[in-house]
């Protein structure tokens, strides 16, 4: 693994409260995933940046095998306490380096709310694409650049104190799309997601998109 980054340390700290603090981005991502996930019965899912396992828990009963990766010891600890099933495997890996190829490859590879922490998108998406079985889909769900100011983004809220900013990079949509193409993938579905789609939208009334999602497939060869 690469040297421990401040982002890794921040997530170790955040792991204690990530599931319980108010977080419309996290909740909208859960909702988007439910709408985007294809039928995965009998299939293998690779979840990159599983965090505390909010999506892992929902995915586990819907697939034959689930490999969930993250670089934060704290986040992985919470996730592995939450999801204890023999077909679910947790792996500690920093996705900025090529991570171990998952045996059998993934029919669905997903990366939710992680890319804001990645400076160079293309290598990471190449590593993700290398994990895709023929015909597999890559699902990306990410903080929308219209809402992300570099250096803000994901933050740990603290009672009566300033939040801790985890460390985010703002990627314009064109940058996501060119990195997906460079990884040898073709975008088939692109959607923007808004706070008002949440069952209980936050009172801010912000009408800018909060998330961007992409579903991409390998380009046809030849
Ligand atoms: C905002 S959380 C999202 C977690 C989960 N996907 C969700 O939707 O709730 C971002 C996760 O990405 C992980 N992460 C960030 N950079 C990473 C890297 N370079 N390698 C592996 N995991 C990383 C963090 O440890 C954290 O658990």
The ranges assigned to domains in the chain are 6-96+103-218
Q: Which residues line ligand 1 (CB under 6 A)?
A: 7, 11, 26, 29, 49-51, 54-55, 70-72, 75, 94-96, 112-114, 117, 154
Q: Which two tokens stand for residue 169?
A: 């990079």
Burial class (CB in 10 A: 0-12, 13-18, 19+), 181: middle
> Hey, which of 6, 70, 97 would you mutate to test ligand 1's pocket, going by the most ligand atoms within 8 Å of its Cβ?
70
Mapped onto helix, strand or coil, the DSSP state of residue 111 is strand
Ligand 1: centre distance to CA 222 (Å): 35
Q: What is the pTM of this model?
A: 0.95
pLDDT digits (tens, 9 = 90+) for 81-99: 999 999 999 999 999 998 8
Give the tens place of pLDDT for each residue, 111-150.
Answer: 999 999 999 999 999 999 999 999 999 999 999 999 988 6
State yes or no: pLDDT of 211 exceeds 70. Answer: yes
pLDDT 10s digits, 139-179: 999 999 999 886 678 888 888 888 888 889 999 999 999 99
Is the confidence at residue 102, as pLDDT, over 80? no
- Give me ligand 1 centre to Cα 118, in Å: 10
Could you say which architecture CATH assigns to the domain 6-96+103-218? 3-Layer(aba) Sandwich (3.40)
pLDDT of residue 118: 96
Report yes or no: 65 and 103 within 8 Å, Cβ to Cβ.
Answer: no
């Amino acid at each position: 693994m690469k040297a421990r980054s401040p982002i890794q340390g921040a997530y170790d700290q955040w792991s204690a409260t990530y599931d319980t603090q108010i977080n419309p981005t996290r909740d909208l991502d859960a909702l988007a995933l439910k709408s985007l996930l294809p039928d995965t019965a009998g299939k293998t899912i690779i979840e990159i940046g599983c965090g505390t396992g909010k999506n892992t828990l929902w995915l586990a009963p819907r697939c034959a095998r689930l490999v969930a990766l993250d670089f934060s010891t704290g986040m992985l600890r919470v996730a592995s306490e939450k999801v204890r099933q023999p077909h679910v495997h947790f792996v500690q890996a920093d996705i900025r380096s090529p991570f171990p190829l998952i045996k059998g490859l993934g029919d669905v590879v997903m990366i939710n709310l992680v890319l804001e922490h990645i400076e160079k998108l293309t290598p990471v998406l190449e590593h993700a694409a290398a994990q895709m079985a023929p015909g597999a889909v890559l699902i990306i769900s990410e903080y929308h650049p219209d809402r992300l100011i570099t250096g803000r983004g994901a933050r740990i809220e603290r009672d009566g104190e300033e939040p801790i900013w985890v460390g985010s990079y703002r990627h314009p949509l064109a940058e996501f799309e060119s990195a997906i193409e460079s990884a040898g993938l073709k975008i088939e579905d692109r959607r923007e997601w808004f706070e008002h789609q949440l069952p209980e939208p936050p009172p801010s009334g912000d009408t800018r998109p909060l998330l961007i999602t992409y579903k991409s497939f390998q380009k046809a060869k030849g």
